[in-house]
Amino acid sequence: LPPDTYAAAHTALSAAHAAYEARFGHVFVICLAGVSPSETLDRLLEAIRSRLANDPEEERSVVADELRRLAKERLVGALRGAGNCALDHSEPAPGR
């Protein structure tokens, strides 16, 4: 990518975040689990621009869904990190 691409993307993202916070009064929340690093910026900009069109009540619902997704991803990650065999049903439980 051209060297100024990242600066332009950062400027666009900063402007979109400022517009979002001015409209809704809180930070933008999104769960990007499963999105490849190469697609993250595009997905993020697309989502924030799209959600700016929401009315405040609709956006509260979207934010709640995103927070639930984030919490689920973190819990699953923590359980996997703890070696919890309950997450992988393809292997028999210990002692069987």
Q: What is the pLDDT of residues 6-25, one digit of tens each?
A: 788 889 999 999 999 999 99
Distance CA 71, CA 65 (A): 10
| Domain ranges for the chain | 5-87
Q: What letter represents residue 68's amino acid? A: R
CA distances from 49 to 31, 73, 74 (A): 15, 24, 26
Q: What angle do CA 43, 74, 34 make, to 5 degrees?
A: 30
The mean of the pLDDT values for the chain is 86
Where is pLDDT greater, at 64 or 88?
64
